[in-house]
Structure 1
């Protein structure tokens, strides 16, 4: 019952603009934040459908003590979820009295809209919103398995593998139980937008990471070779950190910093599940980390993904309907912190390559911060010209801004994102040359079929590739 009470409280907090789903979930006292986050997100995605069913069934009129947000969570679990895995308490018996009517109203809604599945109702209700059409991206965790074996596993579950996508249109038209390999990232699988894999055994075992494509780009573009020392300056919740560890093959060192103890604890759990063994976590402000500290003398790569307004997050409008752009004062405060963090990162003496990224659409947090950092570095660093075929570039606010990358649901079928790659001007090390070359490679081919390979068994036995 506790999970439903917590989910209802988060939904109520979002509606009253107390915060975002993620912020309220992490700020709650509920122990299993991933379970809570998944339940709230899925309930919110089906919000319009649930409102229609609840109203048609007259549930709130019949049960006056049942509050709207609790009703929405419980009806989602009854009709589209796992059938009260969280117990349900006294409301389980209440919902049982209305179960037949609620199911009948859902069936009637499907008939009216000419669809047969719950997911189709979701698609029909969101055609006008590009953010809801973003595919479900799934990064294969190469510390535990490989793309070949993940593809085989899904095929045995009845999914149809369509090979490597050749265009965004291939991703945009995905439906049903079809999936593709992303045309750019070699370990990124792409499923239709409504696909929910939070309960999938490979996800729960850490073999799969549910991560938006744009969020995968920073680690890929940083491209630290195995054996490198890397700083992840603002690391929680940890998806990018686990991606860095996979690129390092757990060989080398990641120094990961974050100030929020709750987020850091959740991150530790995520990294352990993902099989990460090369990461050192620290509850510490990155700005307080001294570049002169001998522990970081070998750090050549830094990933800086600082706190931002989140204005590019695809769930922003779902979490905070009708939200306005961040106010000027908040943007100035965020940009000030971002600029200090970026300028600080560029002072590490052995640094060769740095990726700065945000999930913001605001120039103040993106191009303006990058321009100020370049100016303060006095020519020591430049922007690397990465991914020349990427369709969405930085705003033309200063010479070289075209080397920055932007992402959006409309242009790249991802969440809103910004990325800038800094590299030291006097590039001399072989590691830096490797890092420069990797992001320029042509799209990877689809996984080749191996003639003899032990198949992953039932449950979570997908194995690492050798």
Structure 2
């Protein structure tokens, strides 16, 4: 009995230690798999040059449980990826089974060679741990070939300095007012209001808010200043119908909904299936109830369809090179950046992006009841910004649009490459820590008797510029509009002066 009692006490004394070890192994096991999933999306997007989202946005999505651990593991694996690939190539230890899980292999090899995590759990971990000596030998050979003594020296050759910028958070007025958010955040941080965007708050750099209750429950969104300026520039009013043409991940979408005080309707258009899921998560977190998701190609929406006859504002933030936010997005960790493609995007890719952006902006201008269109990019390249706007100005004028100046007090304006470019807005990647571009096109139709007329056909209505009505024959860019004007056989197309 005494012996049995002593054995029990001994076991009880060891048990907490075993529990801690088991918990550490279990936590590391799941963290590696979460990191591998994120890494797969990141690398596939980088390979196609069409990212689903930034590294940060993917890691901090609701589906990732251990956000801090996963973020650190993804970043460190990417930081060492060029070494890891060379080591695996030299070691020649992977069979076809493990090559199919290459992202998980990259994460585990990082842990074996450079990390401190426990590796006794998991088949992949056991497979690679048994070959630890081979991996370390291959690493030594690689360092010698590159003529460096340490891994730190080798990594330093590829490093880009970190960008230190204030932490901006946008208060989600659908759930919380600005003053209440300030009171709550001031309990831990120094907080001040932004001088430009009313619902934006500024906190010191380097603050991690991802686990803060206000972020978790959607009361505040971590959104940069330049990004927050886009929806504010659009200036949607409560009760309007607004179309967000390229919506995911949805931060600007829910900002529009908040500016509209949850009244009216926001149509959130997104083509990519995976990005639609992220959009749904963002909308759910925001608490917005006036957003309708369109899983569709914006370019294929019929602007004269009755479904869009009440759309009064369009936010167009299309795919772009992302050159203005490369450092913020951690793009310097991506393989394409190391290969020299991300920093100076190749001319062919930029031309393709600009062609798409131009088509999207022309299409946005064709919606008959639209009064305000914001075109924005997170690019520093003229070809995606001023050149796109300049190319559509003749068409915009024929529809009755003109450039207006968003945030007149902002000093950095568009490049002086055409008359009127001073109405455009730019943010600088060095001075403002982000490179953004915003153009605001406005159509004033308060006095339509002079410049505009409304067509009516078979119960369907729209607005058309009298300049367009007078054109014979119609230019190629306008012919599509006239082909889309609804006409049934035997129906009469009539025009009448009216105020809208």
- Same fold per TM (> 0.5)? yes
- Is 1:275 the counterpart of 2:275? The answer is no
Q: Does 1:349 align with 2:378?
A: no
Q: Quote the offset at 1:278 in angstroms.
A: 0.5
**Equivalence for 1:5:** 33
Q: Residue 362 of structure 1 is aligned with which of 375, 381, 392?
A: 381
Tell me by how many angstroms 1:19 deviates. 6.1
Distance 1:283 1:71, change over 3 A: same
- Return the alpha-carbon distance in structure 1 between the equivalents of residues 207 and 109 of structure 2: 24
Cα distance in 2 for residues equivalent to 1:297 and 1:412 = 38
Aligned with 1:215 (options 211, 222, 227): 227
Residues 39 and 375 from structure 1, CA distance in 2 versus in 1: closer, same or farther, beyond 3 angstroms?
Answer: farther
- Distance verdict in 2 for CA 1:426–1:76, change over 3 Å: farther
Deviations 1:414-433 (A, max 9, x none): x211110001155559xxxx
Match of 1:317 in 2: 332
Deviations for 1:409-450, whole angstroms, at most 9, x for unmatched residues?
A: 32224x211110001155559xxxxxxxxxxxxxxxxxxxxx
Q: Is the 8 A contact 1:137 1:189 kept in 2?
A: yes
Structure number with greater CO (CA < 8 Å, separation at least 6) is 1
Alpha-carbon distance between aligned partners in 1 of 2:238 and 2:60, rounded to the nearest angstrom: 37
Paired residue for 2:172, among 141, 146, 154?
A: 141
| Equivalent residue for 2:268, pick from 256, 259, 274 | 256
Whether contact under 8 Å (1:137, 1:191) holds in the other structure is: yes
Aligned residues of 2:402 and 2:443 also touching (Cα < 8 A):
yes
Taking the aligned partners of 1:39 and 1:268, their CA distance within structure 2 comes to 25
TM-score (ref. length: structure 1): 0.67
CA shift, 1:129, in A, is: 7.0
Unaligned runs of 5+ in 2: 1-28, 81-92, 95-103, 130-155, 449-500
Contact 1:311 1:416 in 2 (8 A): yes
Higher mean C-alpha deviation, range 367-376 or range 385-394: 385-394
Contact map agreement 1:130 1:409 (CA 8 A) in 2: no
In the TM superposition, residue 391 of structure 1 has moved relative to its aligned partner by 2.3
Query: Cα distance 1:20–1:35, how it changes in 2: closer, same or farther (>3 A)?
Result: farther
Q: Which residue of 1 aligns with 2:299?
A: 287
Deviation per residue, 1:67-91 (Å, 9 max, x gap): 6644657999989xxx99xx98689
Give the deviation of 1:233 after TM superposition.
0.6
Distance 1:353 1:427, change over 3 A: farther
Q: Distance in 1 between matches of 2:122 and 2:53?
A: 23
The change in CA–CA distance for 1:266 and 1:222 in structure 2 (over 3 A counts) is: same
Instruction: Please say if 1:18 is aligned against 2:57.
Output: no
Structure showing greater radius of gyration is 2
Q: Pick the aligned partner of 1:298 from 310, 322, 336.
A: 310
CA RMSD of aligned residues (A): 3.9
Q: Which runs of 5+ in 1 are unaligned?
A: 52-63, 96-124, 162-178, 430-466
Contact 2:32 2:107 in 1 (8 A): no
Residue 241 of structure 1: CA displacement? 0.4
Q: Where do 1:38-49 residues align within 5 Å?
A: 41-43=71-73
Q: Conserved in 2, the CA contact under 8 Å of 1:222 and 1:353?
A: yes
Contact map agreement 2:42 2:51 (CA 8 A) in 1: no
TM-superposition CA deviations, 1:287-308 (whole Å, max 9, x none): 1111111121111111000111
Using the TM superposition, name which of 234-243 and 295-304 deviates more: 295-304
1:232 and 1:13 mapped to 2: Cα distance?
A: 24
Say if 2:406 is the partner of 1:394. no
Q: How does 1:102-113 map to 2 (within 5 A)?
A: none
Matches of 1:89 and 1:252, distance apart in 2:
52
